[in-house]
């Protein structure tokens, strides 16, 4: 029988009468009452029989735990789980003082003297360990006596767990590992890794409820789920006083499988209390992910980064005891992205570029002649794109481009330019790009800052609408087109049609209203109006204005939805 005690606990448990003293066993009513109250053992020197406790060590501050084995030849198992730092621990046993030493006189041995005998003797060392592995002491036949477990952390303040039992064969709280406890990588992609493992015999043979939890990170493998929790926890909240439950660990496994930051931001009642007098600053969040998948023994991890090494750990968790066992972790590097072909830009020629959602394209421009300036003209047809330009490896431009933009860079003899275009997160991107060493070569028309079309409501009739738009100081050709749409045509549909690179050549001839040239040296007066006639009463129309540059390339203004009056 395993009996748990410490000098302070003896004061509570030993009856102060003249009869011979005997420490209570875990089967007695008083002990059962106390063992149901988890807080009774929290932050004490007592190890209960058949339950896991969690505690905390300050650096270079040893901690001692006690338990008692009353009878010889008792089976004994002790498990120590370091969490976030290596531990030094030692298990020793010493003989108990004669409990009937006062029988001759009828007086019991003084309690203070008994306590001194117990605590001052060194005892016989049974086992010692130093490291961060989950380590066990197991004996099928242990002598009776007072057992001491001494623990020390020389590296840093740390958490740890201890489990002790005198019935290891029947308890089996930790899931058993299969004969091959390794995790196999069965498939490897650029952003996915498929893992497989053999099931725990605790689930397949003993039919106990087991779930598997996978941990993914980029730093190293973990040897216990306790170590994972310590890494994830930014405020040590799980070290608060325990609540009643199936086990004695204040560490709550119930949130496995949920995002790691469920408890982030909560105040900790443990390290911030005046009892310890130490303050801890929150740890930065780590790139570590945990997911529990039930009792499956194959799983594909997705949304990984290409050409990146990841570490994978698997833990079998007994959902009855909330205790876990680690498989042998593994690691794998995802495949590289497919080598992207670099597009060659020719001097003065417009190149069409298509970029997938969140994708990127690389373009190269190597002028064959000496040059004083380089001009890059970019027309983003849909959403904004990011552009980076490197000259001989040095970054010289980084901008977000929406609509039409032009950049001029100082030239350099025999220089080579590498462009990186990154697409939008919203969807695919389309753009046209022109690189030239001739500053006067402009294929794209210049645009005003505001490319909206304004409709005049007061000038609206049953058969016509009047609109206006801004121009520039450069003389350009403007063409206006109309298209009848349904009354339920909305802004979302209009947005899907905002491809500015689609020119007038994609429109039907019947939709064309007119084309005209327009400019003004006074930019404040660069405004033109047009009345579109021949419309039907009470009908909706989508109006588009195209500006066409000298090189024949066009840019579309923002579409405008108008509606004629129904009654005039």
Residue 236 has a pLDDT of: 41
What is the pLDDT at residue 333?
Answer: 94
Task: Please state the pTM of the whole predicted model.
Answer: 0.49
pLDDT tens profile 503-539: 888 889 999 999 999 888 888 888 999 999 999 999 9
Identify the pLDDT of residue 251: 36
Residue 493 sits at φ, ψ, to 5 deg, of -65, -40
Of 389, 401, 335, 338, whose CA–CA distance to 362 is shortest? 389
Determine what percent of the chain is predicted with pLDDT higher than 90.
33
pLDDT by residue (tens digit) across 236-273? 433 333 333 333 333 333 333 333 343 433 333 322 33
C-alpha to C-alpha distances, 94 to 162, 352, 376, nearest whole angstrom: 20, 84, 85
Provide mean pLDDT across the span 121-130: 84
Distance CA(283)–CA(260), nearest Å, equals: 14
Helices (H) and strands (E) in the chain, counts: 7, 32
Which domains, from first to last, does the chain contain? 39-95+124-171 (2.60.120.680), 174-235+286-338 (2.60.40.10), 343-436 (2.60.120.680), 453-563 (2.60.40.10)
Per-residue pLDDT, averaged over 420-427, amounts to: 85
The per-residue pLDDT for range 288-327, each reduced to its tens digit, is 899 999 989 999 999 999 999 999 999 999 988 888 999 9
SS (H, E, C) 40-102: HCCCCCECCECEEEEEEECCCCCEEEEEEECCCCEEEEEEEEECCCCEEEEEEEECCCCCCCC
Name the pLDDT band for 122 (thresholds 50, 70, 90): low
DSSP assignment of 382-444: EEEEEEEEEETTEEEEEEEEEEEEEEEEE--TT--EEEEEE--SSS-EEEEEEEES-TT---S
| Backbone torsions φ then ψ of 492, nearest 5 degrees | -65, -40
Angle at 515 between CA 513 and CA 516, to 5 degrees: 135
135 contacts: CB under 8 Å, gap ≥ 6: 79, 80, 89, 129
Q: Residue 486 is encoded by which pair of tokens? A: 């349904």
Q: How confident is the model at residue 428 (pLDDT cuts 50, 70, 90)?
A: confident
* Burial track 445-461 (b if 16+ CB lie within 10 A, e otherwise): bbbbeebebebeeeebe
Rounded Cα–Cα distance for residues 74 and 50 (Å): 14
Q: Pick the closest to residue 311 from 221, 184, 181 (CA basis).
A: 221
- Asked whether the beta carbons of 21 and 3 are under 8 A apart, the reply is no
Percent helix, strand and coil across the chain, each to the nearest 5: 10, 40, 50
CA distances from 309 to 43, 180, 338 (A): 40, 24, 17
DSSP for 134-171 reads: -EEEEEEEE-SEEEEEEEE-SSS-EEEEEEEES-HHHH
Of 389, 378, 431, 442, the closest CA to residue 411 belongs to: 389
Query: 37-41, 68-72, 144-148, 219-223 — which is least confidently predicted?
Result: 37-41
The residue to which tokens 């980029």 are assigned: 218
The 10s digit of each residue's pLDDT in 171-194 is 788 899 999 999 999 999 999 999
Burial class of 387 by CB neighbour count within 10 A (0 to 12, 13 to 18, 19+): buried
Half-sphere exposure of 71 (CA within 13 A, CB side): 7
Cα–Cα distances in angstroms (integers) from residue 92 to residues 1, 59, 127, 166, 284, in the given order: 17, 22, 7, 16, 39
pLDDT of residue 491: 66
Residues 251 and 343: beta-carbon distance below 8 Å? no
Residue 219 has pLDDT above 60, yes or no: yes
Pick the closest to residue 382 from 350, 348, 421 (CA basis).
421
C-alpha 388/C-alpha 380 separation (Å) is: 14
pLDDT for 280? 44
Given the DSSP bridges, would you call strands 2-3 and 63-69 parallel, antiparallel or unpaired? antiparallel
Give 563's pLDDT tier (boundaries 50, 70, 90): very high
Both structure tokens of 296: 């499956």
Instruction: Give me the chain's average pLDDT, please.
Output: 78
């Amino acid at each position: 029988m395993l009996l748990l005690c410490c000098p302070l606990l003896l004061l509570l448990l030993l009856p102060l009468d003249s009869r011979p003293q005997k420490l209570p066993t875990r089967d007695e009513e008083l002990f059962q009452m106390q063992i149901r109250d988890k807080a009774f053992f929290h932050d004490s020197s007592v190890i209960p029989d058949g339950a896991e406790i969690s505690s905390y060590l300050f650096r270079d501050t040893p901690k001692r735990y006690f338990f008692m084995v009353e009878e010889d030849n008792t089976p004994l198992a002790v498990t120590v789980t370091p969490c976030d730092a290596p531990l030094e621990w030692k298990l020793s046993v010493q003989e108990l003082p004669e409990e009937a030493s006062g029988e001759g006189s009828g007086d019991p041995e003084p309690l203070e003297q008994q306590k001194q005998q117990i605590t001052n003797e060194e005892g016989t060392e049974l086992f010692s360990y130093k490291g961060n592995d989950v380590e066990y002491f197991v004996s099928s036949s242990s002598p009776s006596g007072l057992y001491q477990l001494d623990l020390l952390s020389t590296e840093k303040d740390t958490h740890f767990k201890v489990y002790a039992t005198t019935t290891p064969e029947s308890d089996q709280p930790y899931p058993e590992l299969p004969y091959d406890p390794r995790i196999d990588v069965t498939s490897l992609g650029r952003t996915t890794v498929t893992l497989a493992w053999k099931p725990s015999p605790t689930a397949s043979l003993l039919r106990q409820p087991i779930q598997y939890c996978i941990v993914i990170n980029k730093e190293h493998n973990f040897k216990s789920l306790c170590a994972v929790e310590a890494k994830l926890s930014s405020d040590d909240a799980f070290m608060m006083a325990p609540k009643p439950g199936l086990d004695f660990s204040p560490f709550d496994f119930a949130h496995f499988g949920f995002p790691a930051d469920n408890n982030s931001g909560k105040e900790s009642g443990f390290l911030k209390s005046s009892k310890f007098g130490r303050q801890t600053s929150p740890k930065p969040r780590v790139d570590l992910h945990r997911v529990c998948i039930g009792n499956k023994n194959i799983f594909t991890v997705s949304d990984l980064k290409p050409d990146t090494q990841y570490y994978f750990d698997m833990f079998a968790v007994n959902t009855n005891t909330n205790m876990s066992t680690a498989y042998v972790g593994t690691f794998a590097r995802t495949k590289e992205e497919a080598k992207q072909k670099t597009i060659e830009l020719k001097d003065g020629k417009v190149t069409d570029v298509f970029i997938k959602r969140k994708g990127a394209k690389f373009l190269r421009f190597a002028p064959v002649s000496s040059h004083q300036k380089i001009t890059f003209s970019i027309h983003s047809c849909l959403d904004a794109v990011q552009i980076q330009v490197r000259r001989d490896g040095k970054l010289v431009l980084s901008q977000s481009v929406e609509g039409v933009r032009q950049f001029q860079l100082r030239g350099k003899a025999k220089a080579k330019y590498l462009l990186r275009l990154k697409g939008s997160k919203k969807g695919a991107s389309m753009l046209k790009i022109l690189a030239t060493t001739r500053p006067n070569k402009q294929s794209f028309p210049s645009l005003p800052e505001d490319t909206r079309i304004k409709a005049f409501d007061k000038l609206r009739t049953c058969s016509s609408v009047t609109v206006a738009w801004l121009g520039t100081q450069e003389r350009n050709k403007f063409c206006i087109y109309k298209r009848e749409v349904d009354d339920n045509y909305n802004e979302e549909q209009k947005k899907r049609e905002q491809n500015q690179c689609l020119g007038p050549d994609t429109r039907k001839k019947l939709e064309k209203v007119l084309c005209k040239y327009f400019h003004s040296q006074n930019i404040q007066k660069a405004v033109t109006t047009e009345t579109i006639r021949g419309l039907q009463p009470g009908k909706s129309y989508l109006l588009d204005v195209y500006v066409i540059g000298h090189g024949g390339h066009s840019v579309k203004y923002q579409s405008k939805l108008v509606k004629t009056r129904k009654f005039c």
